């Protein structure tokens, strides 16, 4: 089930952040682009499983979720940082 707090999705910088299993979507489906993070592998850190290898993709919502940019990154922090920058650029260019 997707993550919800008090009946609404978590947000970061005004955009929804939704996790479903190993898939994490970030962005507004009304925008031209959204981010998809796919957790490929995890590693143990201080007794917890944390994402390790992550596929970062920009998807076009106007073209049936066509992949327009993708990369593979180690660590969720780096993947999220890279993805947010990409998304902000793509959304700004589409306006």
Domain borders along the chain are: 10-94
- Exposure letters 46-72 (e unless 16+ CB within 10 A, then b): eeeeebbebbbbbbbbeeeeeeebeee
The pTM of this model reads 0.86
pLDDT in tens, 4-46: 555 678 999 999 999 999 999 999 989 999 999 999 999 999 9
Query: In the structure encoding, which two tokens stand for residue 33, read together?
Result: 């682009």
- Report the pLDDT value the prediction gives residue 4, as an integer from 0 to 100: 55
Hey, what's the torsion of the CAs at 15, 94, 57, 67, to 10 degrees? 130
């Amino acid at each position: 089930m997707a993550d919800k707090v008090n009946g609404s999705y978590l947000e970061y910088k005004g955009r929804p952040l939704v996790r479903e299993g190993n898939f994490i979507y970030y962005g507004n489906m009304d925008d031209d682009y959204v981010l998809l993070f796919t957790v490929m592998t995890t590693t143990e850190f201080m007794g917890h499983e944390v994402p390790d290898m992550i596929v970062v993709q920009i998807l076009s919502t106007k073209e049936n979720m066509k992949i327009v940019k993708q990369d593979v990154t180690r660590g969720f922090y780096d993947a999220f940082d890279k993805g947010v920058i990409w998304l902000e650029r793509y959304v700004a260019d589409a306006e």
